Amino acid sequence: MNIDEQHIWHPYSKIPNTVPSHLVESADGVYLNFKNGNRVIDGMSSWWSMIHGYNNSYINQAMKRQIDSVSHVMFGGLTHQPAIDLCEKLIKITPQGLDKVFFADSGSVSVEVSLKMALQYWHNKGKINKSRFVTPRGGYHGDTFGAMSVCDPQKGMHHLFKDVLPQHYFVTQPTLGNTKEALADLENTLEKSHNKIAAMILEPIVQGAGGMNIYEADYLKGVRDLCDRYDILMIVDEIATGFGRTGELFGCDHASISPDILCLGKALTGGYMTMAATLTNSEVAETIGVLMHGPTFMGNPLSCSAANASIEILLNSDWKKRILQIQSLLNLQLLPLKCEHNVVDIRVIGAIGVIEFEKPLDMKSTQERLINDGVWLRPYGKLLYTMPPYIISDKELTTITQAMIGVARSF
């Protein structure tokens, strides 16, 4: 019996799984080594998290040292140096003013915490009617209930739960070229309903799992101004965009803005451990007071040690130059596909390259083709995209782009 196929749920799948899972025996650098002998380049960075690749010796050693000291201790009433060091690092590198840190378990939980922060903030100010959120269409913020409620209700993955989710405000999706119109719709919504809205939440510059949509930095600047004008908090979800992915250290940096609350995850630990963080400023934190949230594995020392090592590797490298090199190669290789009859759009920013097709891709056959070409990518609806590890060589990246081109030209 195939235990995995018959008994284990994989993300967004059923049991038995109709799309086979490939058994990973080991991984090194940008490569996944399957038990059947296949060796493939991971063009997904394990869902965008393994920015330094696999089996990184510096992170390995940091975690080995930590596990010999203490691998976990409750964070209630106790603390430890890895958490203190990580807090200090995050305050230093994130947008100005974000100096209070909540360590969470995963990206979805960091979003849940951000929503609770906003609600407690206004409750403690005596404005209990400010209990809704506003967010652009096309967004994705996670799979837990609070996070689901601020995902796109029509094109997202959570329409099954729409009748039990809190009802929030959804405004025009920002895209390249529609910034003025998108901001006008947001302002109209805030003008009418700001007394009911606690915060706006959005992904900066790139909407990730909702469709890999790229938009202009001026939209972020406009949102910051409108949030200030109408007295609502601004929450920025940098779970996918943080730590250099878009060419700036954080998506906010494209617009030189600082949100009231910031969510981090994915690449925080270099993909080694599940961990996230929610940061806010002193004014919000002091107004909240006691924040009613406390995960069992909050501030896990092993996760903190991985995060500290990952951030050190990133900051000690010429990451910005490398991201621009990756962006240049993605543009060179993928942009010519715009003339293909079945291609709707090509989108590139930083270490993100996206092909959008007219019709959805068949997951099983497309992945089989890609594996035969020595590449691991995960098609998503009409999208085929790559978000590779930053350590990838030009030759390895070209292997990915050529495999993507092969899919496009055989569609």
**pLDDT at position 336, please?**
97
Cβ neighbourhood burial of 3 (10 Å; 0-12, 13-18, 19+):
exposed
Asked whether residue 285 falls in the same domain as residue 390, the answer is no
Same domain? 327 vs 364: yes
Let me know whether 159 and 258 are in one domain: yes
User: Is there a single domain that holds both residue 287 and residue 339?
Assistant: no
Segment 168-183, tens digit of pLDDT: 999 999 999 999 999 9
- Proportion of the chain above pLDDT 90, given as a percent: 93
The mean pLDDT value for 357-365 works out to 95
User: What does pLDDT average to over the chain?
Assistant: 96
Q: Tell me, what CATH number does 107's domain have?
A: 3.40.640.10
Q: Do 200 and 149 belong to one domain?
A: yes
Check if 385 is active-site. Answer: no
| 140 catalytically annotated | yes
> What confidence category does residue 116 fall into, taking pLDDT thresholds of 50, 70 and 90?
very high
CATH of the domain at 338: 3.90.1150.10
Lowest mean pLDDT among 12-26, 147-161, 267-281, 368-382: 147-161
Q: Domain check: are 273 and 357 in the same one?
A: no
What's the pLDDT at 38? Answer: 96
Would you say residue 156 has pLDDT above 80?
no
pLDDT score at 1 = 54
Strands 343-349 and 352-357: antiparallel
Q: Which of 54, 121, 140, 215 is catalytic?
A: 140
- Those residues whose C-beta lies under 8 Å from the C-beta of residue 306, and which sit 6 or more positions away, are 59, 62, 63, 269, 270, 272, 273, 275
Q: How many structural domains does the chain have?
A: 2
Its domain, for residue 405, covers 3-56+318-410
Shared domain check, 328 and 275: no
Give the mean pLDDT of 78-85.
Answer: 98
The answer, yes or no, to whether residue 20 has pLDDT greater than 90, is no
CA angle 369-372-373, nearest 5°? 90
Indicate whether 51 and 65 sit together in one domain: no
